[in-house]
Structures are given as structure tokens and as C-alpha cells.
Amino acid sequence: MGKRDLLKDSMKGGLNSLLSSTTPSYTEDKPAKVATEKETAVHCNFLINKSIHTRMKYLAIDKNMSLKDIVNEAMKEYLDKYEKK
């Protein structure tokens, strides 16, 4: 086998075979998420204060949740409180 054939064989996997994840995958250590109803997600673009965003990010990390889940939970609680009035 020549150099050319060796190069072709090593490139068969494409770019994905050259790149690997730098973070370990811990599938067993993650806590199970509570089953929730699946709703259609909608993209929203809005501005919030940087301090609020930072606090929400740290809360999401602390609770092992995504920022999207934190925003959804906060907005649901706010709307539930507002609608009770």
C-alpha cells in the first residue's frame, strides 16, 4: 500500500473522525429530569440586564438546568402570580 492509499484510508471518517469531545460524557451521574409536557418552542429575542442574565446563568448551573428552563420556570411563576390577581 502506498502513501496515497494510506492517506485515503485515514481520511474516510471525514472531519468528525479527527475531532473528539473535550468534555467527558457522564450519562450515569446526571439526575433524571422530571417529565414535563412538551410544548412547541418559540424563539424570542429580547434584552435583559446583564446582572439578571448572570444571576440566571449561575442559578441554572447550580440547579443543573438549562437557561431556557430557568426562563420558562420564572415566566410561568410570574404569569401564574399575575393571573391570580
Entry pTM: 0.52
Q: Is residue 53 included in any domain, yes or no?
A: yes
In a domain, 59, yes or no: yes
pLDDT at position 18 over 80: no
43 secondary structure, DSSP code? -
Q: Please report whether residue 27 resides in a domain.
A: no
CB 60 within 8 A of CB 70: yes
Residue 57 lies in a domain: yes
Q: 32-74, pLDDT tens digit by residue?
A: 555 567 889 889 898 999 999 999 999 999 999 999 999 999 9
Question: How many domains does the chain divide into?
Answer: 1
Q: Could you list the residue range(s) of the whole structural domain that residue 78 is in?
A: 48-85
Confidence at 77, pLDDT banded by 50, 70, 90: very high
Distance CA 7, CA 2 (A): 9
CA gap 16, 78 in Å, rounded: 44
pLDDT of 84 strictly over 90:
no
Structure-model confidence comparison of residues 79 and 10, the more confident one: 79
Q: How far apart are the first and last CA of the chain?
A: 79
Q: Is residue 10 part of a domain?
A: no
CATH number at residue 53: 1.10.1220
